[in-house]
Amino acid sequence: WEKVKSAHDAWSGWVCVLLVGVAAGLCAGIIDIGATWMSDLKEGICAEAFWLNREQCCWSVSKVDIDDEYCLQWKTWSEMFGGSRSGAGSYVVTYFLYMVWAILFALLAALFVRVFAPYACGSGIPEIKTILSGFIIRGYLGKWTLLTKSVGMMLAVSAGLSLGKEGPFVHVASCCGNIFSYLFPKYGTNEAKKREILSAASAAGVSVAFGAPIGGVLFSLEEVSYYFPLKTLWRSFFCALAAAFVLRSINPFGNDHLVMFYVEYNEPWYIQELIPFVLIGVLGGLYGSFFIKANIAWCRYRKNSRLGNYPIIEVLVVTFVTALLSYPNQYTRLNTSELIKMLVGRCGPEDDTDLCDYKRNYSSHQMNETYLKSMTSSTVIGDGVYKALWMLALALVFKGIITIFTFGIKIPSGLFIPSMAVGAIMGRMIGIGVEQIVVANHDNPFFENMCESKQFCRITPGLYAMVGAAAALGGVTRMTVSLVVIMFELTGGLQYIVPLMVASMTSKWVGDALGKEGIYDAHIQLNGYPYLDSKEEFTHTTLASDVMRPRCARYGSAVRNDPPLSVITQDSMTVEEVEHVMKSTSHNGFPVIVSRESQYLVGFVLRRDLNLAISNALKLQDGIVYNSIVYFTNHVTENPNDPAPLKLRKIIDMAPVTITDQTPMEMVVEMFRKLGLRQTLVTHKGRLLGILTKKDVLRHIAHLENQDPESILFN
């Protein structure tokens, strides 16, 4: 039996992450299918089977028609209303209905969030980071949040807003993790253990968002998790892989590759190309900093002005503007993922879009190797590409600006895909520029190794788009290794690791030079969550005695008018006195000392436990009155004249973490980070001097960095 129990104990973690992975994969599959169907609903409907999306609708009839954009079974709305497929009238009807559907979806999403689960808005990653650092936000990972976020995300994506599903997927997966952890008492009842499951769940979230299990684990490790226990690395990977496998089996997109933006090309890149890649990295970093500053400024304005009182109206306005401006431009009308996929792709022989309008000298009848080579190599661009470049420039400006206003409105919204889209557009444009420079100067010795002749220059603008996506995403989120790994899992381009790395590195450096924080940290600070960054080094030489409360006078530093420390003595206070201490302060716990005179530390007692114990004792225990002495010791001196004593030894934590007043703050910060402390007691030669909480540490750091410590609100 012992063995069965220990086996159950050992396996419960694996079973739990398996369930979480499967659930995350299922949620992602359902959301993807729903979002695709509803997105298509904006433009038309499948006449014979309304529950099919456009691709399935056309596909169900004849396999040959898949490529054909206009299959007959798929009716646009103007056709449904008896109009024709093309013409100005039809365009206006379709445009109008597109906007109506978009606003309807957005309204529904905003209402859902408002009514069922206010926590379902935003990306959720800042909050999950805070939760994993040890802060508890009740209900943030509950089943209502899960449901609302899932449905709201489908609606928000379908509304065509400039937002992605990726951040919210992490939140959805974490909700699954939280819910399933209650099935296993080992994980459900222990916050630290539960955080292990949540770390694995967030890996699964990224894994299903991008089909990138390894990238997901690294994302969880680098960006989300506060303290990542190595023993859960393998479990996180298992969870991420299970999720990716389930999603792959559902196959919501109907394509063959596990990867999202599979690049089929295997072109080499040249060392000279590192120059434009660095340039792209710089631009990505600049965009990232600009985006963070602008978005935070706008969110702060929303918080502090009346705008914050009308979240639904804000959503509707943003949706209206987005729908109005994005429909006319074919690149913004497209689903953002499809846009990225198109931009990172290569122009093949069968492509006849504007973006691939190159002046080629070979006719398609010469179906031989030279022809194929010519069709995929770089050459002079035609008018179509000029037109495409203009449209892309407009799309870039539009996407870049609307995302600032979109991220933060009260519906589920992720940031990965819009950032990548902005970067990919920029990268593709630079790529085409570089391509034309090389083609025009193909006999320049500097470019010699890239070109065989004027017709055969080997520059791949799609690679630039890929690099640009990485650079912009890196600038916004300041991810590093996980970004590179996600990018190459996303595209399957293992050989492009150096370009991706160069761009994301430059982007991070440029971004960090302009402002230290990534978007998630900035939002954590904006919302005032008690989050102690585990990546920043603490390099100052202050001591614990400079930070603790009450501040010690004799060390000569600025003495504040701190109230004296609220303490409880172990065997000399009455119930009434204890209650008075509790009422006069709002601390979460109180140190217990031997006596007021000696101040030697005995332990620490939590307000919650103390409250409960006293009220229970007053109600249920005979003889306990307000005059009873509260004893925290084993040995109770009973005096027949006194009222019955209240023995509370059981609720006292006899092992509080203590430091001496001479401990350097560097060590204190490290202890807070690594041990996940909320407070520590400061002693001097065994005597209690003061207390040091996480908020004191955060205020101290803000003070040292010349920020106004009072500007950091802690809600």
Q: Is the Cβ–Cβ distance between 552 and 567 less than 8 Å?
A: no
Q: Is the Cβ–Cβ distance between 176 and 190 less than 8 Å?
A: no
CA gap 135, 714 in Å, rounded: 12
Site membership for a second copy, residue 67 (CB under 8 A): no
What's the min distance (Å) between Cβ of 501 and a second copy?
Answer: 6
DSSP character for 122? B
Given candidates 501, 614, 629, 648, which one binds a second copy under the rule CB under 8 A? 501
**Residue 231 or residue 583: which is nearer to a second copy going by CB?**
231
**Residue 266 or residue 361: which is nearer to a second copy going by CB?**
266
**Residue 145 or residue 545: which is nearer to a second copy going by CB?**
545
Site membership for a second copy, residue 664 (CB under 8 A): yes
> Comparing C-alpha atoms, which of 157, 152, 165 is closest to residue 121?
152
User: In the block, which residue shows the tokens 């391509």?
Assistant: 435
How many residues line the site for a second copy (CB under 8 A)? 58
DSSP character for 278? H
What's the min distance (Å) between Cβ of 133 and a second copy?
Answer: 13
CA gap 200, 225 in Å, rounded: 9
**Phi, then psi, of 578 in degrees rounded to 5:** -60, -45
Stretch that binds a second copy, among 43-51, 130-138, 151-159, 680-688 (CB under 8 A): 680-688
**Residue 123 or residue 680: which is nearer to a second copy going by CB?**
680
**Residue 295 or residue 683: which is nearer to a second copy going by CB?**
683
What's the min distance (Å) between Cβ of 89 and a second copy?
Answer: 49
Stretch that binds a second copy, among 59-67, 425-433, 550-558, 649-657 (CB under 8 A): 649-657
Tokens encoding 466 = 């890929």
Given candidates 197, 420, 594, 646, which one binds a second copy under the rule CB under 8 A? 594
**Residue 306 or residue 554: which is nearer to a second copy going by CB?**
554
Tokens encoding 336 = 């953002």
Q: Give the Å distances, CA to CA, from 648 to 584, 611, 621.
A: 21, 11, 13
What's the min distance (Å) between Cβ of 480 and a second copy?
Answer: 4
**Residue 160 or residue 656: which is nearer to a second copy going by CB?**
656
DSSP character for 681? E
What's the min distance (Å) between Cβ of 507 and a second copy?
Answer: 12
**Phi, then psi, of 252 in degrees rounded to 5:** -65, -25
**Residue 382 or residue 492: which is nearer to a second copy going by CB?**
492
Q: SS3 for 692?
A: strand
What's the min distance (Å) between Cβ of 202 and a second copy?
Answer: 15
How many beta carbons lie within 10 A of that of residue 558, not counting itself? 6
Q: Is the Cβ–Cβ distance between 522 and 125 less than 8 Å?
A: no
Site membership for a second copy, residue 120 (CB under 8 A): no
Site for a second copy in 602-621 (CB under 8 A): 602-603
What's the min distance (Å) between Cβ of 634 and a second copy?
Answer: 11
- Work out the widest C-alpha separation in the chain, in whole angstroms: 112
Site membership for a second copy, residue 335 (CB under 8 A): no
Per-residue binding string, a second copy, 247-286, x by CB under 8 A, is -----------xx---------------------------
Stretch that binds a second copy, among 60-68, 117-125, 552-560, 663-671 (CB under 8 A): 663-671
Given candidates 550, 658, 678, 703, which one binds a second copy under the rule CB under 8 A? 658
**Residue 115 or residue 271: which is nearer to a second copy going by CB?**
271
Q: Is the Cβ–Cβ distance between 603 and 632 less than 8 Å?
A: yes
Per-residue binding string, a second copy, 416-445, x by CB under 8 A, is ------------------------------
Site for a second copy in 450-489 (CB under 8 A): 480-481, 484-485, 489
CA gap 356, 348 in Å, rounded: 8
Q: Give the Å distances, CA to CA, from 395 to 296, 330, 367, 486.
A: 23, 9, 36, 25
Given candidates 267, 600, 606, 609, which one binds a second copy under the rule CB under 8 A? 600
Site membership for a second copy, residue 18 (CB under 8 A): no
**Residue 226 or residue 358: which is nearer to a second copy going by CB?**
226
Handedness of CA 474, 479, 481, 487 (dihedral sign): negative
Tokens encoding 149 = 């976020």
Site membership for a second copy, residue 79 (CB under 8 A): no
Q: SS3 for 531?
A: coil
Given candidates 446, 685, 710, 711, which one binds a second copy under the rule CB under 8 A? 685
**Residue 237 or residue 407: which is nearer to a second copy going by CB?**
237
Q: Is the Cβ–Cβ distance between 637 and 498 less than 8 Å?
A: no
Given candidates 250, 312, 567, 671, which one binds a second copy under the rule CB under 8 A? 671
C-alpha gyration radius of the chain: 30
Site for a second copy in 207-246 (CB under 8 A): 213-214, 217, 221-222, 228, 230-231, 233-234, 237-238, 241, 245
Given candidates 206, 417, 476, 505, which one binds a second copy under the rule CB under 8 A? 505
Stretch that binds a second copy, among 389-397, 516-524, 553-561, 653-661 (CB under 8 A): 653-661
In a 10 Å sphere around its CB, with 0-12 CB exposed, 13-18 middle and 19+ buried, how is residue 655 labelled?
exposed
Site membership for a second copy, residue 12 (CB under 8 A): no
Tokens encoding 627 = 């005059």
Handedness of CA 68, 73, 77, 78 (dihedral sign): positive
CA contacts within 13 A on the Cβ side of 698: 20
What's the min distance (Å) between Cβ of 418 and a second copy?
Answer: 24
**Residue 441 or residue 480: which is nearer to a second copy going by CB?**
480
| 690 sits in which H/E element | strand 687-693
What stretches of 88-211 show up as alpha helix (H) in DSSP? 88-116, 125-132, 143-158, 166-181, 185-188, 191-210
> Comparing C-alpha atoms, which of 176, 110, 187, 111 is closest to residue 143?
176
How does 349-369 read in b/e, with b if 16+ C-beta sit within 10 Å?
Answer: eebeebbbbbebebeeeeeee
Site membership for a second copy, residue 654 (CB under 8 A): yes
Per-residue binding string, a second copy, 528-557, x by CB under 8 A, is ------xxxx------x-------------
What's the min distance (Å) between Cβ of 537 and a second copy?
Answer: 7
Tokens encoding 585 = 């302060």
Given candidates 674, 705, 707, 714, which one binds a second copy under the rule CB under 8 A? 674
| Residue type at 607 in one-letter notation | R
Residues forming the site for a second copy (CB under 8 A): 213-214, 217, 221-222, 228, 230-231, 233-234, 237-238, 241, 245, 258-259, 480-481, 484-485, 489, 492, 494-495, 497-498, 501, 505, 508, 534-537, 544, 594, 600-603, 654-660, 662-664, 667, 670-671, 674-675, 683, 685-687
